[in-house]
Amino acid sequence: MDQASLTVEELLQLPVLQNAQLVSGANGLQNEIRYIDVMEIPDLAGWLRPHEFVLTTGYAFQNNPYALGKLLDEMHKAGGAAVGVKQRRFGYQVSAEARHKSDSYAIPIIDIPPELTTIDITHSVMEKILNRQFVVLNKARAVNSELMKLLLRRRSAEIVTMIGNLLHCCVAVLNAGGSVLNATPGFDLSQVAQTREIRAANTILGYLVITEQPTQDDLFAQMCLDQATTALALEFTIQDAAKNRKEHAREEFLVELLSAPTRAEEALLVRAQRLDFPYGLYQFMLVVQPIFSAPALEELREDLWEQIHMLIVEGMSRGENGRKHLTVPLGESFAVLCVSSDAEIREAATQTAEQLYTRLQQRLANVEFSIGIGSIVNQLSALHESYSQARHAVEAGRKVFPARHIVHYEDVYIEDMLLSIGRHPALKMMYDSLLLPLCQYDQRNGTELLKTLEALLRHGGNTREVAEELYIHRNSVSYRLERIQDILQVNIFAPEIHIRLDLLMRAWKLQLLPLPEGTR
C-alpha cells in the first residue's frame, strides 16, 4: 500500500464514520483512497479518478434503480475505491444488482448515516490523507537531505546502498556506455526491472537501475528514485567538471613542455604525477597537420577543426594496451603525446600514426592529413625536441615525399639540416656549376637530363630502375648520363660529386634553389 493513501478499512475506522455500515464489496476493503468527491449528477462518465471515494445522497438515483450500478461500472473502469451512499436521506435503497456489481468489482458500498454532513466526512478523510502525505514528504525530504550530504562528501557508492535499503532491492549505477560503476551486493544486470536515465540537459550521463519495479502508486518510492537520479546527475556533472579541469591542466602542462621548459626534470615529474600526466620510458610526439585545400572546406574550417580534434582524441583512445596519449591543438596543427611500453618503439610509432591516419581519412575523406613523428625521448624536459622534430618532419615531408602522409624525423635528417642552413652561398655556387648548365641545356633542347639525373640519385645509381620509372630503354639512360657528364665535365658517379648532387636535389625539393618546375 502507498504510505500516503488510506484504505477503505481504515476509512471505516475513522471516528466520523463509526456509525457507517458496509453494504457490500467486503473484498475491496484494502482499496486505497487518495481522493474524495461528492457526486449528485446522473452521468459521472469522464469525471471519475483512480483511488477515489465517491460520496452521494442518492438523490440522483431515487427514480433510477440502475443508476448506482452504472456508477459502479464507471468506477470499475477508472479504478475507483468505494462509494458512500446516504440511503436513508431520500429513502433510496441499494439494489441487488448494485450489490452484485459491488462484490464483483471489489468496490465497497458504504451506508452513510443521514445526520453526517458531507463537509465533516470530506474534512476527516482529507485530513487523514494529507497527514500521511505530509509524513511521506518529510521522509522524502530527509532522504533528499541525506543524499545531498553524501553528494557533498563525494560518496556516490553510499548513495546506491542507501537507495537499495530504502527500496529493498538491488541497485546499480551505470555509465552512459552501460558499464557498472557502483552496485549493491548481489546485483545482477540480468535481473534489472527498471532503468532510469541520469540526465544533464539533453545529455544522458548514465543510468540508475533497480531489480524490483515499484508501483506507480508508491509515492515514496517514486520520490526516492527521482531524488536519487537528480543527486546522481549532480555527481556525474561534478565528476565531469573535475575531469575537464584536470584534462585542461594536463593540456596546459603539455603546452609548457613543448615550449622548452626551464624546470628540472625532477620537478616536472612531480607535477606529472599530481596531474596523472602520461609519461614513461618510451615517449614521442606526433604532429597532425590538416590540409584544407578546397575553398569550401576553408569556409567550414572552424567546424572541421573541432571535428578533427574529437576524431584524434577518440582515435588515440582506441590505441593498443600499454599506450597512453594526450592531444592538444597548437597553431595550425595538433600535437599528440604518445607513451608506449613497447620496446619496438619505431614500429609502435608507425602503427599508431597509420591507425590515426586511416581513421581520419575514413571520417573526413575530403581533408588531407600529414603526420610527422618525432624521435623517442625518455625525459619530459626533452619532449619539446621530439615535437620540433615532428613539425620539421611534416614540413620537409610534404616537399620531399609528397606521396607520403606519414614521415619519421629520421627520414628527413638531411632536409632538416638544409632547412636550418637556408639559402647558403655554398649551395648557390654548387648550383651554378653542377645544375644550372643542365637546366639551361634542357630549356634550349627540350630534353630531360635534369629529370634523369634526379631519378638516378634517388635510385642510388641503379640505371634499370631509372629506365623503368622514365619508361625508356636502359641504353637511353646510359646515353643521357654520358651527355650529362660531358656538359658538367665531372664524373657523376664519383662519391664527392654524388654527395654534392644529392644535396642540391634535396635543396631544390625544399625550394631553396631556383630550379624550374616539372624537373622532379
How high is the pLDDT of residue 321?
43
Its domain, for residue 220, covers 154-241
* 427 and 407 both lie in a single domain: no
Q: Give CA–CA dist 513/520, Å, rounded.
A: 13
Q: pLDDT value at position 190?
A: 85
DSSP 99: H
Same domain for 370 and 312? yes
CATH of the domain at 438: 1.10.10.2840
Per-residue pLDDT at 242: 77
- Judgement on whether residues 380 and 430 belong to the same structural domain of the protein: no
**403 and 426 share one domain:** no
**Same structural domain for residues 358 and 426?**
no
| Whether residues 427 and 394 fall in one domain | no
Establish if 252 belongs to a structural domain: no
User: How many structural domains does the chain have?
Assistant: 4
Distance CA 160, CA 162 (A): 5
Give SS3 for 326.
Answer: strand
| CATH number for the domain that contains residue 65 | 3.40.1390.20
Per-residue pLDDT of the chain (520 residues), as tens digits, is 445 568 888 888 888 888 888 989 999 998 888 888 888 776 666 678 888 889 888 776 767 777 888 888 888 998 899 998 887 776 677 888 989 999 999 999 999 888 888 888 888 888 777 776 666 666 667 666 666 666 656 566 777 787 788 778 888 888 888 888 888 888 888 888 888 888 877 788 888 888 888 776 667 777 777 777 887 787 777 777 777 888 889 889 999 999 877 788 899 999 989 888 888 888 899 999 998 766 656 566 677 888 888 888 887 775 544 457 899 998 889 999 988 776 667 787 888 889 889 989 888 888 889 999 999 888 999 999 999 999 999 988 888 888 889 999 888 888 878 877 777 888 888 888 888 888 888 889 888 898 888 888 888 888 899 888 888 888 988 998 898 888 989 898 888 888 888 888 888 887 777 755 544 4
Q: Rounded to an integer, what is the distance from CA 286 to the centroid of its chain?
A: 24
pLDDT of residue 336: 92
Q: Cα separation of 433 and 355, whole Å?
A: 46
Tell me which residue of 414, 277, 458, 304 sits closest to 367, measured CA to CA: 304
Task: Based on the fold, state whether residues 388 and 444 are members of the same structural domain.
Answer: no
CB atoms within 10 A of CB 337: 26
Return the sign of the alpha-carbon dihedral for residues 380, 354, 460, 398.
negative
22 - beta bridge partners?
110
- Do 114 and 31 sit in the same domain of this protein? yes
CATH number at residue 306: 3.30.70.270
Count Cα atoms within 13 angstroms, Cβ side, for 160.
23
In a domain, 246, yes or no: no
Q: Which of 449, 409, 418 is nearest to 511 (CA)?
A: 418
Residues 71 and 158 in one domain: no
The answer on 286 and 230 residing in a single domain is no
- Which residues, 6 or more positions from 483, have their beta carbon under 8 angstroms from its beta carbon? 449
Q: What is the distance between the alpha carbons of residues 417 and 425, in angstroms, rounded to a whole number?
A: 15
Task: Enter the C-alpha cell of residue 486.
Answer: 660531358
Domain annotation covers residue 147: no
Long-range contacts of 306-312 (CB under 8 A, 24+ apart): 307/363, 307/364, 308/334, 308/360, 308/364, 308/367, 309/334, 311/359, 311/360, 311/363, 311/364, 312/288, 312/336, 312/356, 312/360
Which cell numbers hold the place of 454? 634526379
